[in-house]
A and B are shown apart, each in its own frame.
Chain A
Amino acid sequence: EVQLVQSRAEVKKPGESLKISCKGSGYSFTSYWIAWVRQMPGKGLEWMGVIYPGDSETRYSPSFQGQATISVDKSISVAYLQWSSLKASDTAMYYCARHPGGDAFDVWGQGTMVTVSS
């Protein structure tokens, strides 16, 4: 079964760092892009960026460039989304999704809720 399993929910303080993960299984992890999508409370879906595990090529949405960093460890089939200094406005649900190049996001992780509050 093709799956993306994300790390657990996090509660952090402003200024703290965080790295959340997305582990793929049941398919060739290095052959499909992984996308990160944000959903702020009560709002819609926003794509943040995508990474190709095969060669780590990364593309960011202009809205998120510099806000967070996407990376991958293909040896363990895990993609990451990390922040060096969280803000309250980073509070959101974050989803990873599989993206066959040139096709829609066909498999989604269960989501990781990040809460940033003092």
Chain B
Amino acid sequence: EIVLTQSPGTLSLSPGERATLSCRASQSVSSSYLGWYQHKPGQPPRLLIYAASGRATGIPDRFSGSGSGTDFTLTISRLEPEDSAVYYCQFYGSSSYTFGQGTKLEIK
């Protein structure tokens, strides 16, 4: 079973800065099956990125995804206070839908 490891565990940045979140897979995965979600307290998770770099409907272009093989990245440029959340990567292929453990993004 594929294991996804996210880093860092917590990231604390100021508005206007750029956040770089990492997701590493235990084995090479197809980028077609790698997604990112934003999860705020009291709300359901929201899909941000699908297929490693496709932006979901309604997601601002400040959010971008990249990567291939075992290493994937979510970049959030020009941070805003409402970007404070936990971000999860997910592999959704081969009848397995594993989530990473999450990165908590704090906006100072």
Contact = CB atoms under 8 A, between A and B. Distances in A.
A95 interface: yes
Contacts of A109: 44
A95 B45 contact: yes
Contacts of B97: 35, 47, 50, 61, 99, 105
B98 interface: yes
Given A35-B97, A99-B92, A106 B44 contact: no
A104 B92 contact: yes
A15 to B, nearest CB: 29
Q: Among A105, A106, A109, which residue has the most Cβ atoms of chain B within 10 A?
A: A105
A38 B36 CA distance: 17
A99 B90 CA distance: 13
Contact of A108 (B44, B95, B96): B44
A47 B1 contact: no
Interface in A97-118: 97, 99, 102-106, 108-111
Contacts of A105: 35, 37, 45, 47, 90, 92, 97
Contacts of B99: 44-47
A104 B50 contact: yes
B40 interface: no
B26 to A, nearest CB: 15
A66 interface: no
B39 to A, nearest CB: 7
Nearest to A47: B97
Interface of A: 35, 37, 44-47, 50, 59, 61-62, 95, 97, 99, 102-106, 108-111
Interface of B: 1, 32-33, 35, 37, 39, 44-47, 50-51, 56, 86, 88, 90, 92-93, 95-102
Given A59-B95, A102-B32, 9 more contacts: A44-B100, A44-B102, A45-B99, A103-B51, A104-B37, A105-B47, A105-B90, A106-B50, A110-B44
